[in-house]
Amino acid sequence: MHVILNANMLTFNCNIRVRYGETDQMGYVYYGNYAQYYEVARVEMLRSLGTSYKDMEDNGVMMPVLDLYCKYIKPGRYDENLTIKVSIREKPGVRIKFHYEIINENEELINIGETTLVFVNIEKNKPCHPPEDFSRRLEKYFT
């Protein structure tokens, strides 16, 4: 897992080995598991920045998913080591959008997706801006 520095964008790579229980009868990754792969990559990206969902929740902010887009290009297969590339391409405001590319061991693009999450003040149950600490951690990626 590692962070890639690009101008005005944060990109992070995370690897996941496909487990047998994540596949269907054909040995392909079951379509519903891609959303879980996206979540693993998102969580690990935040962790690489020195923060986490738990930290945000402890500070009164939750991040529910507002929408999800997923496009299947080729099947992922049992026991493959997949690379999930997740990026934030725009400085977040009340919403934050994550973009995903999943690459198989043969360096083939097998899936693309996006999720939009919204920052919500837990106490007020209303949208809010990202926590100041989180915004500060992203500053160097969006200059």
Kindly state the tokens that stand for 107. Answer: 């360096």
24 is catalytic: yes
| Strand bridging mode 81-88 / 9-17 | antiparallel
71 touches 113 (CB < 8 A): yes
C-alpha distances out from residue 26 to 16, 75, 110, Å: 19, 10, 16
Q: Give start and end residues of each alpha helix (H) in the chain.
A: 33-48, 53-58, 132-138
Rounded distance, CA 122 to CA 100, Å? 27
Residues catalogued as catalytic: 24
